Amino acid sequence: MDERRGEQQGAGSHPPIASAGSTLPPAQQAWSRYVTHRLDCLTCQDIDAGPCGESERLHRVWLGLSNRALDQIADKAN
């Protein structure tokens, strides 16, 4: 059990998927952090608990990075 806790703490700074040799784009890293938080967070899993500030923050970060990535794609297309 202690080993599992250690892995989860390490997952915050380095997403597990990114350690497979390839680096995920920032937007996908942000989405991974958001989904991981939603799965682990008791507030997010309790529909009566109200909005989770950390979840909203992670979602905003993902939205910002996604919009920036889309802008870059649009710039290259023009």
The region of 6-14, 24-32, 33-41, 64-72 touching Zn ion under the rule CB under 5 A is 33-41
**43 touching Zn ion, by CB under 5 A:** yes
**Integer Cα distance of 5 and 36 in angstroms:** 14
Q: Which of 55, 61, 65, 66 binds Zn ion (CB under 5 A)?
A: 55
- How many CA atoms within 13 Å lie on the side-chain side of 44? 15
**44 touching Zn ion, by CB under 5 A:** yes
Alpha-carbon torsion (19, 11, 44, 25), positive or negative:
negative
Residue closer to Zn ion (CB basis): 41 or 65: 41
